[in-house]
Amino acid sequence: MRNPNISVVIPTHGGRFLSAAVQSVQAQTFADWELIIVDDGSTDGTAKVAGSLAAKDPRVRVVTNPQNTGIAAARNRGLASSSPSSEYVAFLDHDDVWMPEALATLRAALLASPEAGAAHGTATGIDHLGAPIAVPPERLRRMGILDERLVEWPSWRPTELANLAYENCIVSTGSGLIRRMELVALGGFDPRAAPSDDHDLWIRLARRGPIAYIDRPVLAYRSHENQTSSRPPPARGAGTPYVRYKTITSPDNTHEQRRLAIAGFRARQRRLFRERCSALATDWRSGNLQQIPRHLVDAAARVAAYARGRPWVWHR
């Protein structure tokens, strides 16, 4: 078995964009890597595509799950199948592509910041054909809790729990590189948190130390009709409230970390309350009165959650 410096995991349940993702790994200026493609119970010919890619490059391997286990479990399967001697691990979604210098840039950031358990950069956007599109500014913004206030985070400061308790400011799992020892210590991804399992992992990493930040794109994030993040909340499941509940109530929190987690949650509830009130006013002015009860119920729920300091969520 090779002893690569970086293990790359690409979980996939549909091979439509897989070749482009793999090619972006092969185009990296830092070449000391291995790639594990996890075919997570696909039924559309993905296994054949993955096998063909592996046959052409000895650095690429395929592991297969007979049934679809979900993104978090597939990422964990890839981690377990990777070389235990690699120092870093990266998780690239099968529909995204890296910039050629992504691994070199992220690795350099970790070498320069030994206290950081991971590093991440920003991203540009592409559509289903690979054409450039704009990434919404809010996806790239880093806000955080500082001195009890929600402020815009300076570019020189690493990403911390103070940011992630408010929102997931790491645009994609593929925009990061993680120290293997930290990842193993945390036990990998929590399948109960899917599809917010990446947010949960970044939170748990940030609880242990800073996440180095690189203020430039390392990834092209693909927007298309089948991605999980494009689905409405009911289709995405209860991962997000579970993660927020877990963040606040975790016994691993210090007193200060629990305070930050509550402050971040409350800041988010304030923002969502304002957004719901704005939508209510817009619908009232336009005569779209059938939406008014829904807006009122949601606004009341935000007020109640703010007062409680954590979401209502069952154990999943």
Distances (CA, A) of 149 to 30, 155, 163, 265: 40, 18, 12, 12
Q: Are residues 49 and 175 in the same domain?
A: yes
Cis amide bond preceding 195, omega within 30? yes
**Residue 127 · residue 96 · CB < 8 Å:** no
**Residue 70 · residue 194 · CB < 8 Å:** yes
Q: For 192-200, what is the mean pLDDT?
A: 95
Burial (0-12, 13-18, 19+ Cβ within 10 Å), 119: buried
Q: Are residues 216 and 275 in the same domain?
A: no
What is the rounded CA–CA span in Å between residue 226 and residue 20?
17
The last residue of a domain, from among 183, 200, 231: 231
C-beta atoms surrounding 142 within 10 Å: 23
CATH code of the domain containing 159: 3.90.550.10
pLDDT tens sequence across 209-227? 999 999 999 999 998 766 5
Q: Are residues 120 and 19 in the same domain?
A: yes
Q: Are residues 145 and 57 in the same domain?
A: yes
β-strand 211-222 against 118-126: which pairing, if any?
A: parallel
The domain of 295 spans 249-308
Query: Which pTM was predicted?
Result: 0.92
- 297 token code pair: 């119920």
C-beta atoms surrounding 68 within 10 Å: 14
pLDDT tens sequence across 65-115? 989 999 999 999 999 999 999 999 999 999 999 999 999 999 999 999 999
